[in-house]
Amino acid sequence: MTTTPTSSLSGTRWGLKTKVILSMLLVGIIPLVVGLGMAFWQGSQEIREISGESFKALATEAARKLDLLVVEEISHTARIAHDPTIIRELERRRDASSDPKRSISALADLEQRWTERDPAALKSLTGNTLSALLHEYYAGVYSPPGQLLPQVVRASTKMLFLTDAQGALVATMTDHPAFRHQDTRWWQGAFNKAVGQLYIEDIRFDDQVNTYVFTISLPIMDSLRYETVGVLHHVIDAKEFFSPSTHAIRFGKTGHVMLIDTNGIVISCPILPTGVPLSDRNLTPLVTPQHPGWVEASSDGHGGQSTSVIGFAPLLETSRATNGSIDSGSWHTFVWQSSDELFAPIQHLLTWVMVFGAVAIVLLASLGYVAAGRIVTPVRQLQQAAQAIGRGELQTPIQINTGDELEDLAREFTRMNTQLKAAFAGLTDQVKLKTQEFQVLQQSTDQILDAVPTPIVLIDSHQIVRYINQTAREAFSVRETSSDTSLFSILSLDPGVQKQLQTEFQMNGGTSATMPDIERETAPRDPLQPRTDHEPAGHRSELPIGSRIYHYQWFRLPTKPGEEDSIGLVLRDITDESRLQDQLVQAEKTGSLGVLTAGIGHELNNPLFGIIGLGEILQDEQDLEHIKSYARDIVAHGRRMATIIRDFTGVTDREASDKPVSVPVEEVLDKALATAQATVDMNDVVIHKTYAGHTPVLVLPDQLRQAFVNLLTNAIHAMKGTGALTLTTVVSDHMVTTTIADSGPGISKQHLSKVFDPFFTTKEQGEGSGLGLTVARRIIRKFGGDIRIECVEDRGAACHVTLPINTSTPPLGDTWTTSASRSKPQPSHSS
């Protein structure tokens, strides 16, 4: 074994080894990939969930913290709003404003001067008692011990000022505020129709302090808390106020908390500047509901377009007062971390798992290679062993020691090989034996064939002689048969006969081989019948070879499957037999002529002797009357003789025309019956007629009638004038069959075959000429029909006349009627 089939077929299909390695790799890789994908998906999902929940918690916590910060600031501011000094002063101002004597012009004058930054006016508002009080509150003078204002909060205060119930500036820490505020939203919100309400104004850019601010506006109620007497307005720098709280909360590199309002405007963010809107407007409604939560958004609000997890929570307390009510605006915390950072752990995990996966695949491939080697090597050994067994070359047992099914298989192979060897050894002996038997059989067959005195030649489908027996060799002077001797080179035949034989051979002569019709050949031939239907000589199974004549017969000889059958040719020398046959026929013909001569002689002798006798009497007769009487007798005898001679020749009446005409066969039959009735006594005969109708046949009507008269006369004679005569016509398949059946004694078997022979008669000498049926058959055959006689002994005979139906021409009744009228009924003396 130089090359293995696996290596030779590796180009077109995968070997077992490759398949094993691939299987192991697939078994390893598919779960790995699926597991990896699922782990990544699940991990991402969980990180998203966990982060979302964490962000939500953080946002809530940050919101609460910022809420507290704002509330604390409000409470700090509220402390000022509750100051009795301020309340008293504002009550006084309220009472003064309602005093009709109060000068409005003085207020307008002050406003004018404040707008123009008149130092005296500035001083009157920034340096009055209430302003001093505001400074003191701002400085933390009135704070409870240990609750000093944090520095950041204090620094974030950009403006702190008081207005009275008319919105006019009363006191301020700085000179930034405008003088009149009654038209501003914050003032109206906080004053709230003198009922008073906390108002936190949403983030906006303040030109005076040049920064983004939010404001806390508190109503100052009178001492009865009945009505608002003024508004305390606290303007706070949003970034400065919130940044210590929001910026401190950082996680990871990007994670942070920011504060936005309901419009998505950033109030405080470590990354985005205050006052800018979120980069994605669509994000705002997602993150500003009135409840905490988290969302997976398609952008991060910081300009990034990656999917982000965002936690959010509203500042509930602050939002309630923002822009007057929670419906007008709310503040929300927003917790976000970059997706890259958020999903970094899972991506690290993925990377590592992929690295480990790659290592695992390499390991799998190596292990697969080793394992495949271990599996495939014994399989290849087995394969080679199987091939060796196939060639019968395996001598040694297969050595596979894997300790598994393959070892068992190898053992089975070895055992199988041993058994096959044993079986083959027995088989060889049997073959030898059978060969000897075959040879003996062949020899004996050859000897038998050689011993047969008939030439036998076996040829194949190419006409090459395969065998020729001893007799044939001698007969055809064949000395040595070469392998390609043709049949026709052995047989010296005439070209015509040779062609005939070849045609028969090509038609698989073996099957068409026929035995010569001995019966027919040996039967005496009707000497009166012209040999029109005589078979040509070539159709006979006879071969004239040289001076001798052989009868031959093909036979088919079955051969081995896959080969064409041989064809055998058996030749029988019938030279002597044929000669004998001819002599026999000649003798029979001579015999027939004798019978004929005797019949004619006998028939003619009686009237002839009558004529001779009458003639002798006439020589001496003188009486004229007697002479005339004798002459009449002589004429009668002459006519009698003429009738006999006409019967012998079969020509009853020459037709006026030799042209056949179409007549109904039934009418011909009826006329024949009428003729028969005139000549034969049939008073005791019962006639049954069953006709098929008017069946036209193309015949010479008088001849056909003569044939029928002969048949009818025979039938009536057979019944000896007593019985039933049945006449039937049946139409079938272009033929009409006329049956004439009698109830007579029938015809014995020995006679049945001879009834058509001329001069054969069962009647007494002189009763019948033995020519009736012969003549009838000739007539019927002339018209393309046939006649046959069926007979059951003691039950009568049935004569069937078959004639072709004339389908081409219309019925020519008139023609026949004319013909019939011309013909005279003839007496019949049929046998």
Partner 1 sequence: MDYFRFTFQAATVALLLGGFWTVAALHAAKESPTTIGISPQKVADYIHAILEADRTFYTSHIVNRLQEKGIVASTEQWEQDNTLPLPAQFLQHSGRLVAESGSGIRYRLIGFSPIYQRNAPATEFERKALDVLKRQPDRPVTGIVSSGKKQYFQAIYSDRAVSSACITCHNSHPLSPKQDFKLNDVMGGIAIIIPLE
Q: Which stretch binds partner 1 (CB under 8 A): 220-228, 336-344, 592-600, 638-646?
A: 220-228
Q: How far is the CB of 95 from partner 1 (least distance, A)?
A: 4
Of residues 195 and 271, the one with the C-beta less far from partner 1: 195
Q: How far is the CB of 127 from partner 1 (least distance, A)?
A: 24
Q: Does 101 bind partner 1 (CB under 8 A)?
A: no
Residue 201: enclosing H or E segment and its boundaries? strand 199-206
Q: How far is the CB of 38 from partner 1 (least distance, A)?
A: 41
Of residues 165 and 596, the one with the C-beta less far from partner 1: 165
Report how far residue 344's alpha carbon sits from residue 349's, in angstroms, rounded to the nearest whole number: 8
Of residues 72 and 588, the one with the C-beta less far from partner 1: 72
Of residues 194 and 420, the one with the C-beta less far from partner 1: 194
Report how far residue 612's alpha carbon sits from residue 555's, in angstroms, rounded to the nearest whole number: 67
Task: Tell me which of 41, 142, 226, 438 binds partner 1, using CB under 8 A.
Answer: 226
Q: Which stretch binds partner 1 (CB under 8 A): 225-233, 372-380, 471-479, 555-563?
A: 225-233
Q: How many residues form the binding site for partner 1 (CB under 8 A)?
A: 19
Site string for partner 1, 606-625 (x = CB under 8 A): --------------------
Q: Which stretch binds partner 1 (CB under 8 A): 89-97, 153-161, 458-466, 638-646?
A: 89-97
Q: Does 290 bind partner 1 (CB under 8 A)?
A: yes
Q: Which stretch binds partner 1 (CB under 8 A): 224-232, 410-418, 471-479, 627-635?
A: 224-232
Task: Tell me which of 18, 124, 174, 192 binds partner 1, using CB under 8 A.
Answer: 192
Report how far residue 637's alpha carbon sits from residue 440's, in angstroms, rounded to the nearest whole number: 83
What is the radius of gyration, based on Cα positions, of the chain?
A: 73
Of residues 223 and 629, the one with the C-beta less far from partner 1: 223
Q: Does 225 bind partner 1 (CB under 8 A)?
A: yes
Q: Is 689 left (phi over 0), alpha (psi -120 to 50) or beta?
A: beta
Q: Does 83 bind partner 1 (CB under 8 A)?
A: no
Report how far residue 730's alpha carbon sits from residue 698's, in angstroms, rounded to the nearest whole number: 17
Of residues 316 and 354, the one with the C-beta less far from partner 1: 316
**What does the block give as tokens for 659?**
């042209």
Task: Tell me which of 95, 136, 341, 577 binds partner 1, using CB under 8 A.
Answer: 95
Q: How far is the CB of 60 from partner 1 (least distance, A)?
A: 14
Tell me if 234 sits within 8 A of 156, measured CB to CB. Answer: no
> Quick one: which of 143, 154, 124 has its CA closest to 79?
143
Q: Does 593 bind partner 1 (CB under 8 A)?
A: no
Q: Does 92 bind partner 1 (CB under 8 A)?
A: yes
Report how far residue 765's alpha carbon sits from residue 159's, in angstroms, rounded to the nearest whole number: 177
Q: Does 201 bind partner 1 (CB under 8 A)?
A: no
Of residues 322 and 703, the one with the C-beta less far from partner 1: 322
Site string for partner 1, 329-358 (x = CB under 8 A): ------------------------------
Q: Does 371 bind partner 1 (CB under 8 A)?
A: no
Q: Does 222 bind partner 1 (CB under 8 A)?
A: yes
Q: How far is the CB of 195 from partner 1 (least distance, A)?
A: 4
Site string for partner 1, 259-278 (x = CB under 8 A): --------------------
DSSP 322: B
Q: Does 224 bind partner 1 (CB under 8 A)?
A: yes
Q: Does 142 bind partner 1 (CB under 8 A)?
A: no
Q: Which stretch binds partner 1 (CB under 8 A): 223-231, 236-244, 357-365, 615-623?
A: 223-231
Report how far residue 203's alpha carbon sits from residue 213's, in angstroms, rounded to the nearest whole number: 5
- Find the distance separating the first CA and the last CA of the chain, reported in whole Å: 97
Q: Does 223 bind partner 1 (CB under 8 A)?
A: yes
Task: Tell me which of 326, 354, 464, 627 binds partner 1, using CB under 8 A.
Answer: 326
Residues 416-435 binding partner 1 (CB under 8 A) are: none
Residue 418: enclosing H or E segment and its boundaries? helix 405-451
Distances (CA, A) of 798 to 169, 198, 229, 481: 159, 145, 157, 60
- Please spell the DSSP secondary structure of 325-344, one letter per residue: STTT--EEEEEE--HHHHTH
Classify the C-alpha dihedral 521-527-532-536 as positive or negative: positive
Cβ-proximal residues to 434 (8 Å cutoff; 6+ apart), any chain? none
- Please spell the DSSP secondary structure of 431-453, one letter per residue: HHHHHHHHHHHHHHHHHHHHHSS
Neighbouring CB atoms inside 10 A of 183's CB total 8
Of residues 88 and 579, the one with the C-beta less far from partner 1: 88
Neighbouring CB atoms inside 10 A of 610's CB total 17
- Please spell the DSSP secondary structure of 457-505, one letter per residue: EEE-TTSBEEEE-HHHHHHTT-----TT-BHHHHS---HHHHHHHHHHH
Task: Tell me which of 67, 91, 164, 201 binds partner 1, using CB under 8 A.
Answer: 91
Neighbouring CB atoms inside 10 A of 476's CB total 17
Q: How far is the CB of 224 from partner 1 (least distance, A)?
A: 5
Report how far residue 546's alpha carbon sits from residue 465's, in angstroms, rounded to the nearest whole number: 20
DSSP 535: P
Q: Does 195 bind partner 1 (CB under 8 A)?
A: yes
**What does the block give as tokens for 49?**
């969930």
Instruction: Report residue 430: phi and psi, to 5°.
Output: -65, -40
**What does the block give as tokens for 288?**
């500003």
Contacting residues toward partner 1, per CB under 8 A: 88, 91-92, 94-95, 192-195, 221-227, 290, 316, 326
